[in-house]
Structure 1
Amino acid sequence: MARVLVTRPAPAADRSAERYRAAGHQVHVAPLLAFAPLDPGPGALPPADSLAAIAVTSARGIEAAVPFLSPAHYALPLHAVGEATARAARAVGFADTHAAEGDLIALAAALRAAIPSGGEVLHLAGRDRSGDLAALLQDAGIGCRLVELYAMEPVGHLPEDVRAALSDGTDPVLAPVYSRRSAQALADVLAAWGDRPPFRFLAISAEAGEPLTGLGPVDLAKTPDEAGLMALLPR
């Protein structure tokens, strides 16, 4: 049994914690990023008839976009960064959904294959992003309209009860990280925790794990999804 710290934002943190507990691990939950919707203003989303598709890089982008989408937007093809985001899109009413292989490069490749030159994609996104989808589509002649709909604000600390529980033991704490942004939030918290226990990080990708370099070993998942992270846990 391993000690696992889940710091991804709620409600995903609770779903992940249940999976780790079901696998027999001791789990502590402490989201380090908090969801904050942004108001894009009137007319921020272009009309559906000017678009070839919608692109989404997180389920939170779907959640934040719902108040601003028209029925015609729901009829457009939606390309999601991965299957979890595609499921979130289907849950709110998108029927024509396509899941990429879990990162921005794969999403861009899927869009380049599906959208003819001259088409425009609406990117429903957060304020803080680790890549530039528009730049990845530019040389294919595909336009990309970015609309920022939410922010993930750093919490800045671990709850005292979680710190105390993690400090009570000598085995390394295993911390799965799902994005570069969440990894940076964790790195900032750990850098300020002088007497922290040893940590081992499980990163969904090399980019996600990079902020944690120097704070403990970083193991990379073989697949960019939660199953890949769970495969890194001791059995």
Structure 2
Amino acid sequence: MSASDRSRVLVTRAEPGATRSCAALAERGFDAINAATAVLKAHEVALNLKGVSLIAVTSPFGASCLATATSERRLPVIAVGDVTASRLREAGFEKVNSASGDARDLLAMIRERAPEGEVLHVRGVDQTGDLSAELNARGIRARSEILYAAEPVSALPGAVWASLAAGATVLIHSAKGAERFNDLANAADQVEALLAARIVAISTAAAEPLKSLGVARLKIARRPDEDALFDALENRPSARA
């Protein structure tokens, strides 16, 4: 495997995030290849915020969709992570806090706030987990609103599979992305190459679909955010095997 193969990375997250991740990786000196497994599409939704005292947002794209779906900017908003929080602030939301973690951290922060009104969770169609159900089970009134969906791609370019066979690392941002990449590899008869590939995942949950298949080399970021994911890619101390 050449040095260029070792620095080549397949970015499997959905668009428009894949393009941003490729640009960020290029700044770190990687040869990032866009292998987006889906495209996120916003729904046209007019949000009903009556009775809502807190909004929970679990992805950067969800933050962008929320900004389009309502002109309200004064309600408190809690984001799952710092990138999502930054996107909300850029859109003009005035009261933004970040759980700086994953869905469990978000749930814990909402419970600490003990909101008196209803919690609105804005989400995608196939987003993992059900935050509103978790909150309702703990006595906090909550509901969810679907603002976007991921449309899977039908196939990936041959250059993606050639890079995988040559030793490119596969970057995994979500469990759904891992599932979609595996499905695409199956369709392209590239399962053996996938099982032998180096996989770097943002979290244990994101890695699970590929881990259960028996991938040979798997590394998981110590925190569920992209900075830690890139550190894992670079074999920095913020990563774990």
1:25 offset after TM fit, Å?
Answer: 2.2
Task: Structure 1: state its 5+ residue gaps.
Answer: none
CA separation in 2, counterparts of 1:223 and 1:32?
A: 23
Would you say 1:147 and 2:152 are equivalent positions? Answer: no
Are the counterparts in 2 of residues 56 and 85 from structure 1 also a CA contact under 8 Å? yes
Q: Which of 178, 184, 188 matches 2:183?
A: 188
Are 1:47 and 2:29 matched, yes or no?
no
What whole-Å deviation, never above 9, does each CA across 1:162-200 have from its counterpart, x for those lacking one?
A: 333444x3xx32111111111111111122332463312
> Over the residues paired in the alignment, what is the CA RMSD in angstroms?
2.0
Kindly indicate whether the alpha-carbon contact (under 8 Å) linking 1:156 and 1:185 is maintained by their aligned counterparts in 2.
no
Kept in 2, the 8 Å contact 1:187–1:215? The answer is no
- Once the 2 structures are TM-superposed, how far is the Cα of residue 4 of structure 1 from its aligned partner? 0.6
Q: For residues 112 and 126 of structure 1, what CA distance do their matches in structure 2 show?
A: 22
Aligned counterpart, 1:204: 202
Q: CA deviation at 1:154?
A: 0.9
Q: TM-score, normalised by structure 2?
A: 0.85
Q: Report the TM-score when normalising by structure 1.
A: 0.87
Question: Structure 1 vs Structure 2: percent identity of aligned residues?
Answer: 36
2:232 aligns to what SS in structure 1?
coil
1:220 — aligned with what?
Answer: 220
Indicate if the aligned counterparts of 2:200 and 2:218 stay in contact, CA closer than 8 A. yes
Equivalent residue letter for 2:97: H
Q: Supply the distance in 2 between the matched residues of 1:96 and 1:66 (Cα, whole angstroms).
A: 14
- Higher mean alpha-carbon deviation, 133-142 vs 151-160, is at 133-142
Structure 2 distance, partners of 1:11, 1:229, is 18
Alignment of 1:28-177 (within 5 A): 28-40=33-45, 45-48=47-50, 50-70=51-71, 73-116=72-115, 118-167=116-165, 169=166, 172-177=167-172
Cα 1:5–1:193 change in 2 (3 A) is same
Matched AA of 2:49: P
**How far does the alpha carbon of each residue in 1:120-171 deviate from its partner, in whole angstroms, 9 at most, with x for none?**
111111111211112221244211121111101111321123333444x3xx
How many angstroms apart in 2 are the aligned matches of 1:18 and 1:38?
27
Looking at structure 2, the residues matched to 232 and 150 of structure 1 have their Cα atoms a distance apart, in angstroms, of 29
Is the 2:114–2:140 Cα contact (8 Å) retained in structure 1? yes
On the 8 A contact 1:65/1:149 being kept in 2, the answer is yes
Q: How far apart, CA to CA, are the structure 2 residues paired with 1:128 and 1:232?
A: 26
List 4+ stretches of structure 1 deviating above 6 A. Answer: none
Q: CA deviation at 1:203?
A: 1.0
Aligned counterparts of 1:12 and 1:45: Cα–Cα separation in 2? 24
Moved more, 128-137 or 225-234: 225-234
Q: Tell me the SS of whatever aligns to 1:220.
A: strand
Residue ranges of structure 2 left out of the alignment (5+ in a row): 1-5, 236-241
Cα distance in structure 1, aligned partners of 2:187 and 2:49? 46
